[in-house]
Amino acid sequence: MAVPKHIFDPPFSVVRCSHAVLRVRDLGAARAFYADTIGLKVEHADDGALYLRGMEERNHHSLVLKKGMEPVAERLGFKVASEEDLDRAHAFFKERQLPAAFVEVPFQGRTLHAADSQGNPLELTFKMDQAERILQQYGHYRGCHPQRIDHFNYFARDVQATIEFYAALGFRLTEYAESDEAEPKIAAAWMHRKGSVHDIAFTNGGGPRLHHIGYWVPTALHIINLCDLMASTGYLANMERGPGRHGISNAFFLYVRDPDGHRTEFYTSDYLTVDPDFEPIRWSLRDPRRQTLWGTPAPRSWFEEGALYPGTPVLPPVHDLKPIVAD
Ligand SMILES: [Fe+2]
How many A from CA of 267 to the centre of ligand 1?
7
Ligand 1 center to residue 212 CA distance, Å?
7
Q: Which helix (H) or strand (E) holds 144?
A: none
Query: How close is the Cα of 151 to the center of ligand 1, in Å?
Result: 6
State the DSSP code for 35: I
For the question of whether the overall pTM of this predicted structure is more than 0.95, the answer is yes
Give Cα 177 distance to the centre of its chain: 18
Q: How many whole angstroms from 248 Cα to the centroid of ligand 1?
A: 10
Distance 47 CA to ligand 1 centre (A): 30
Question: What separation in Å is there between the alpha carbon of 127 and the centre of ligand 1?
Answer: 26
Q: How far is the CA of 95 from the centre of ligand 1 (A)?
A: 31
Cα(213) to centroid(ligand 1), Å: 7
pLDDT in tens, 223-259: 999 999 999 999 999 999 999 999 999 999 999 999 9
For residue range 74-107, list pLDDT tens digits in order.
Answer: 999 999 999 999 999 999 999 999 999 999 999 9
* H helical segments located in the chain: 27-31, 83-95, 159-167, 220-231, 300-304
Ligand 1 midpoint to CA 276 (Å): 24
- Position 324 scores a pLDDT of 81
Q: Give 190 Cα–ligand 1 centroid separation in angstroms.
A: 9
Q: Name the strand (E) or helix (H) holding 200.
A: strand 200-204
